[in-house]
Structure 1
Amino acid sequence: MDDIDLMQYESEILTILRSDIPPAEKRIQLDIYHDYELSQVMLTLTDSERDQFFQCFTSDQLANIFAQLPPEEAVELLRIMPAGQIKDIFAGMQSDDLIDVIECFTDPDERLTYLTLVGQKKRQGIMTLLDFNENLAGSIMNNNYIQINKEDSVKTAIKKMVDQAPQTEFINNLYVVDSGYLVGVLSLKEIISAGNRPQELIKDIMTTNLVAITPWTKNEEAIETMKDYDFVLLPVVNKDFKMLGIVSFDDMFEVLNKESDNDYSKLAGLTEIVIDEKKETVYSSVKKRMPWLLILLFINLITSSIITGFEDVLKLIPTLALFMPVILNLAGNTGVQSLGVIIRLFATNQLDGRKAVRRHLLKELLTGIINGIIIGCMLFLLVIGMRMLQGNPFAEVLPFALVIALSISVSQIVATLAGAIVPMMFNLLKVDPAVASGPLITTINDIISLLIYFGLASILFANYL
């Protein structure tokens, strides 16, 4: 990457690294930059420049810089680094960041090789978290947190906080335990405010009205809990309320982004998300897109069969073919709108009971009816106006306009319901509702709309067939 393409801070950092000043002086000058900025520059360096870069920082500083990298990029760098340096960096990384990196080693032997470079205590914790499904809070749990005892004095608690802080990513809350069980919590503000009462016991000032989750709590539920209580940290406990770790808002934010990427990909008919455009090959693109394209190909053959089945109607009234794109496109777009709404509702756990489902289906039905009536009436008047301007008598235009208007009205209602019902069925089958992708909903609505369109035409023009 040329300097001209770099952002200003990247150019400044590169200038410092490429200068002839001693590493100690470089370290002082680089200290003003954020870890994220340093991590972005690290990706652009040559091997020799990267060696100089590493000499400017301690292992703990490098650990913080590595934590800012996308895990996939961090893995690429780790593969070309000596084992001793990796071990030092792993020692300084937080468990949740380290898990993200370890998970990117898909080969079991390679993963084990890098796990052996993690300290024994941290490695045991990581291996436990790796056992959790990625959709559960346990998979992103951080077992580094400030822990104090309920019998501690304020003075003792502050000392423990200061001692534990260097190894802990978050010091917003102090978690109070009794024989390992969570019994209370104190915010950083509360413990500082109590500093003028050093002999007061923690059990007398801690908050005992606790909100916690378990490692088996779904990520979506944990996010909702954070939103409801306006928390940035949540304690993770087992069924007996034994303290296991914490989950943070920044980790949950990453989960939300990943879920959004997955949902967008599924809505577009992709089997996987594109993580890095630079690494996306033609083969991988084809592999991701082909499954849905093949499925939709065979489903679309049904559409062709329907048109063939109503060939006599089209021969009699070829003008019907002119309005097929209008009816199909409107029905497809309506279905995707309804799908987008329900995917969002599922993602935010707003459809968690039969009453909520019935209420939403009724709302979608009424929406479809109102939209269908409005669009049907507009199209009815437009068709009559267009056909009569072409010199066709009203008596001949009326049944044709009725077919168009009724078809679009009924198609709107059916498409709206299909966009809601299909993902609901997927959800009942324990399949991600986002799999009911836009292309699938559109194709289903095409089939239904054609049946309605030609069915009504056959009924209204039965005397002519």
Structure 2
Amino acid sequence: MFDYEDADELTKFAKQIEDLIHRKQYAQLRDLLLPLEAADIALLMMESEEQILPLVFRLLPKELAAEVFVELDSDQQEMLIQGFSNVELKEVLDELYLDDTVDIVEEMPANVVKRILRHSDPDTRKSINEILKYPEDSAGSIMTTEFVDLKASMTVEDAFKRIRRTGPDKETINISYVTDAGRHLLGLVSIRTLLFADDSEIIEDIMETNLVSVTTLDDQETVAMALSKYDFLALPVVDTENRLVGIVTVDDAIDVLQEETTEDIAKMAAMAPSDKPYLKTGVFETWKARTPWLMILMLSATFTGIILTKFEDSLAACAILTSFIPMLSGTGGNSGTQASTAVIRALSLGEVRFGDLPKVLWKEFRVSIICGICLAAANFVKMMLIDRWMMQNPDVTPLVALVVCATLVGTVLCAKLVGCSLPILAEKVGFDPAVMASPFISTIVDSLSLLVYFRFATLILHI
């Protein structure tokens, strides 16, 4: 296993592979690669020159080659498929699990998809088309139909015979699902339970009937969270009539969580999500992902300019107030981001729901008061000692300091209440809570902090 953060180790190994290929030491190269995990071989291929990929791929045993193929990025997969003969393509497809084949089909251009489907066997082709009919990001779109099913009337001995006969082609044999003649899900039995049962025992007597399942239209993130919550290795997927149609395994759940987390991070930074790695995303594509959001935020910041224009006479009467606007805006944005980040995480983990909004607001209200008073006290001391005394700025009077410190308390209060409530409200109306993160919170809080600032300035300084 490689240390993914150790670039030197990866580069050194990749150079060794290239050297062996250059010297045509193919047997030695094969012996070097065989002990490695498929994911590590794929990582090495990404670090090596692109033209050596087909040669390395053909040196690997069929099963390991298929596992490596799944781990490669879509561009490398497409390059290999384009170079495969029809026989090679069929051999790879025969070694892939159905859900991996579906993932590849979804990533490939139309001409490559047609070739893949043309060289898949009829049953696989039918299963692929059925899975592709389900909505994107649903349980049905990430499930596999390759699972072991048993009948309730079977004995343990019969069950083992069926597992041995059908198991090699299945995604997992750790859990077998018990169905009736109409494929309705009745229960499940683990391989552990079967191993410790007598051969003559009936499956119906030892199976678990208290099942957790999902439907084909459930959101994939909900499925992944369920697998995490219950520590399952797989989760059965049923249709509206409780007929077992597939399973979602834990490796697919990990991919979903990684995908969803990447998407949320992008949205929280005001960018359109991208499926490609950072270095493989083109400049033009990156520009398209970022510019619309920047445009929206820039236009929304117009409200800040309107407020400043409205109170320009006040700023002219007490120009020193201008110097504290960046600090107030920054503190407000940071306070709102803290609250929104904590709430977005709680929403994603199911710790907070819309009904908890009053509790969340009450908690953040108390936190904001304490934080605001602490920041205001520290800022008052700083303004008096540094701005007035050390920098000898006579415009920084105690009344000016009072305006700034009172605004700090109000800004932190507004920011935390806005930051904690917007993600919850967004989810309630069907938006992704991650959108209501740092950029939007900061833009809203900037306007609110200026309104609070000039209100206190008007009341205390009479300007």
Shorter-chain TM-score above 0.5: yes
- Whether 1:448 and 2:448 are equivalent positions in the alignment is yes
Q: 2:126 matched to which residue of 1?
A: 124
- Post-superposition offset of 1:386: 4.2
Give distance in 2, aligned partners of 1:4 and 1:203: 56
- Post-superposition offset of 1:27: 5.5
- Post-superposition offset of 1:145: 1.1
Give distance in 1, aligned partners of 2:276 and 2:458: 50
Q: 2:409 matched to which residue of 1?
A: 409
1:314-353 map, 5 Å: 314-353=315-354
Structure 1 residues 445 and 108: alpha-carbon distance in aligned structure 2, compared to 1, 3 A threshold = same
- Post-superposition offset of 1:403: 0.6
Give distance in 2, aligned partners of 1:340 and 1:241: 38
Is residue 184–residue 207 contact of structure 1 (8 Å, CA) maintained in 2?
yes
- Post-superposition offset of 1:326: 1.3
Out of 135, 138, 145, the position equivalent to 2:137 is 135
Structure 1 residues 69 and 125: alpha-carbon distance in aligned structure 2, compared to 1, 3 A threshold = same
Is residue 185–residue 206 contact of structure 1 (8 Å, CA) maintained in 2?
yes
- Post-superposition offset of 1:247: 0.6
Give distance in 2, aligned partners of 1:456 and 1:346: 35
Q: 1:37 matched to which residue of 2?
A: 40
Give distance in 1, aligned partners of 2:50 and 2:456: 71
Residue identity opposite 2:377 in structure 1: C
Structure 1 residues 353 and 277: alpha-carbon distance in aligned structure 2, compared to 1, 3 A threshold = closer
Secondary structure of the corresponding residue to residue 397 of structure 2: helix
Q: 2:222 matched to which residue of 1?
A: 221
Is residue 16–residue 29 contact of structure 1 (8 Å, CA) maintained in 2?
no
Structure 1 residues 353 and 312: alpha-carbon distance in aligned structure 2, compared to 1, 3 A threshold = closer
Q: 2:93 matched to which residue of 1?
A: 90
Structure 1 residues 15 and 208: alpha-carbon distance in aligned structure 2, compared to 1, 3 A threshold = farther
- Post-superposition offset of 1:341: 1.1
Is residue 39–residue 68 contact of structure 1 (8 Å, CA) maintained in 2?
yes
Is residue 146–residue 246 contact of structure 2 (8 Å, CA) maintained in 1?
yes
- Post-superposition offset of 1:412: 0.3
CA displacement, residues 196-241 of structure 1 (integer Å, 9 cap, x when unaligned): x322222222222222111122223223322332212111112332
Q: 1:426 matched to which residue of 2?
A: 426
Q: 1:261 matched to which residue of 2?
A: 262
Give distance in 2, aligned partners of 1:375 and 1:52: 63
Is residue 329–residue 449 contact of structure 2 (8 Å, CA) maintained in 1?
yes
Residue identity opposite 1:206 in structure 2: M
Of stretches 245-254 and 280-289 in structure 1, the one that deviates more from structure 2 is 280-289
Q: 2:102 matched to which residue of 1?
A: 99
Secondary structure of the corresponding residue to residue 154 of structure 2: coil
- Whether 1:289 and 2:287 are equivalent positions in the alignment is no
Is residue 310–residue 454 contact of structure 1 (8 Å, CA) maintained in 2?
yes
Structure 1 residues 28 and 152: alpha-carbon distance in aligned structure 2, compared to 1, 3 A threshold = farther
Out of 185, 188, 194, the position equivalent to 1:185 is 188
Secondary structure of the corresponding residue to residue 186 of structure 1: strand
CA displacement, residues 280-309 of structure 1 (integer Å, 9 cap, x when unaligned): 222112111111111122122221222122
Give distance in 2, aligned partners of 1:299 and 1:258: 29
Give distance in 1, aligned partners of 2:389 and 2:444: 35
- Post-superposition offset of 1:393: 8.5
1:341-380 map, 5 Å: 341-354=342-355, 356-380=356-380
Q: 2:170 matched to which residue of 1?
A: 168
Give distance in 2, aligned partners of 1:223 and 1:274: 19
Q: 2:77 matched to which residue of 1?
A: 74
Of stretches 45-54 and 254-263 in structure 1, the one that deviates more from structure 2 is 45-54
Is residue 72–residue 104 contact of structure 1 (8 Å, CA) maintained in 2?
no
Give distance in 2, aligned partners of 1:46 and 1:402: 64
Of stretches 139-148 and 224-233 in structure 1, the one that deviates more from structure 2 is 224-233
Q: How many residues align?
A: 455
- Post-superposition offset of 1:14: 5.4
Is residue 17–residue 29 contact of structure 2 (8 Å, CA) maintained in 1?
no
Secondary structure of the corresponding residue to residue 79 of structure 1: helix
Is residue 75–residue 101 contact of structure 1 (8 Å, CA) maintained in 2?
no
Structure 1 residues 20 and 224: alpha-carbon distance in aligned structure 2, compared to 1, 3 A threshold = closer
- Post-superposition offset of 1:347: 1.3
Give distance in 2, aligned partners of 1:185 and 1:335: 47
Secondary structure of the corresponding residue to residue 178 of structure 2: strand
Q: Which runs of no fewer than 5 residues in structure 1 stay unpaired? A: none
1:229-240 map, 5 Å: 229-240=230-241
Give distance in 2, aligned partners of 1:16 and 1:190: 49
Q: 2:245 matched to which residue of 1?
A: 244
Structure 1 residues 188 and 150: alpha-carbon distance in aligned structure 2, compared to 1, 3 A threshold = same
Q: Scaled by the length of structure 1, what TM-score is found?
A: 0.89
Give distance in 2, aligned partners of 1:295 and 1:37: 42
Give distance in 2, aligned partners of 1:4 and 1:362: 51
Secondary structure of the corresponding residue to residue 176 of structure 1: strand
Give distance in 1, aligned partners of 2:207 and 2:295: 60
Give distance in 2, aligned partners of 1:433 and 1:420: 10
Q: 1:400 matched to which residue of 2?
A: 400
Q: Which runs of no fewer than 5 residues in structure 2 stay unpaired? A: 1-6
- Post-superposition offset of 1:166: 1.5
- Post-superposition offset of 1:259: 0.9
C-alpha RMSD over aligned residues: 2.8
Give distance in 2, aligned partners of 1:305 and 1:48: 58
Is residue 331–residue 445 contact of structure 1 (8 Å, CA) maintained in 2?
yes
Is residue 387–residue 397 contact of structure 1 (8 Å, CA) maintained in 2?
no
Identity fraction in percent: 27
Q: Scaled by the length of structure 2, what TM-score is found?
A: 0.89
Residue identity opposite 1:275 in structure 2: K
- Post-superposition offset of 1:263: 0.9
